[in-house]
Amino acid sequence: MEREVSDSDFRLFVKTVRQYSKYDFSDYSDKSLKRMVGKVIADKKTDINRLVRDISNYSDYLESIINKVTVNTTELFRDPSVWKFLRKKVLPGLKTWSTINIWHAGCSTGQEVYSMLILLNEAGLFDRARVIATDINSEVLKVARSGKYRYRFNKGYLENFDLVVGRSRDKSTGAANVPYSRYLDVDEERDIISIKPFLLEKPVFKKHDLVAGEVSYPGKFDLIICRNVVIYFNHSLQNRIFEMFCNNLHPGGILVIGSHETIASPVSDRFIRTGHAYKKPGIF
């Protein structure tokens, strides 16, 4: 049950990973990662010495371990109140822009990427959006690209959809509700929720380690969504990442973080906060 590794074993793991790969976990918040490393050791019925020996000898094994220790969960419209806020208060402000450049940093299995695309489509902004979605974990990116999720375990997705989108008047048909079937196919028998192909085609999913810095992209972003990702980093790394986000936003661009995350001073001085959105001040 309690599988956290000791401090010294954990340091050995971090040091070995840093030595034999481009990944640096030194500034991760230790609690979760210690547990995940402990879990890997238990699942693989190995011990820390064999683990570090094997990751230093086989780079694809190292990669598979990275994929195991960096898995985190996400949902379609996780925190409906945040998505309602984005829909009502943030998206209307993007309507004057000809292109909307969006970066989902740490997108995991992609549910929030599709949540945003649904909102953009409802707002009539879908065609103008250019979306890049990144994660350190190549396995979660495969799931994200497929846009297929378990149904029975995730019935909450449909409730969330209703709270954020479904209960509003359908602008295209005039009907009282927006049906989820516009965006999702539900196959109860096979236990699958699938994202519709027109949504799948939009985002470019790409492997990228936030700790390593900026993502390569032609130009800056209008919207950066990074929710429940930096909670895995220590305080100083969080500050560095938020600063990097600020530098990668256009003036007037917006950063959206998790509902229990905060940007600390002095980096917070570079943003104007409204609800869950941090805006980089515009030129005027």
One-letter amino acid at 280 equals K
- On whether the CB atoms of residues 16 and 56 are closer than 8 A, the answer is yes
Judged by CB under 8 A, does residue 78 bind other proteins?
yes
Judged by CB under 8 A, does residue 74 bind other proteins?
yes
End-to-end CA distance of the chain: 56
Q: Which of 41, 230, 249, 277 binds other proteins (CB under 8 A)?
A: 230
Q: Which of 12, 35, 240, 243 binds other proteins (CB under 8 A)?
A: 35
The residue count for binding other proteins (CB under 8 A) is: 33
Site string for other proteins, 152-191 (x = CB under 8 A): ----x--x---x----------------------------
Judged by CB under 8 A, does residue 40 bind other proteins?
no
Judged by CB under 8 A, does residue 80 bind other proteins?
yes
Q: Which long-range contacts (CB under 8 A, 24 or more apart) does 12-16 make?
A: 12/48, 12/52, 13/37, 13/48, 13/51, 13/52, 16/52, 16/55, 16/56
Q: Which of 213, 235, 273, 281 binds other proteins (CB under 8 A)?
A: 235
CA distance 36 to 164: 33
Judged by CB under 8 A, does residue 70 bind other proteins?
no
Judged by CB under 8 A, does residue 65 bind other proteins?
no
Cα torsion 118, 210, 222, 228: sign:
positive
Residue 120 or 224 with smaller CB distance to other proteins: 224
CA distances from 32 to 46, 142, 229, 231, 284 (A): 19, 23, 12, 10, 43
Site for other proteins in 209-228 (CB under 8 A): 228
| Binding residues vs other proteins (CB under 8 A) | 1-2, 4, 29-32, 35-36, 71-74, 78-81, 156, 159, 163, 228, 230-232, 234-235, 238, 258-262, 264
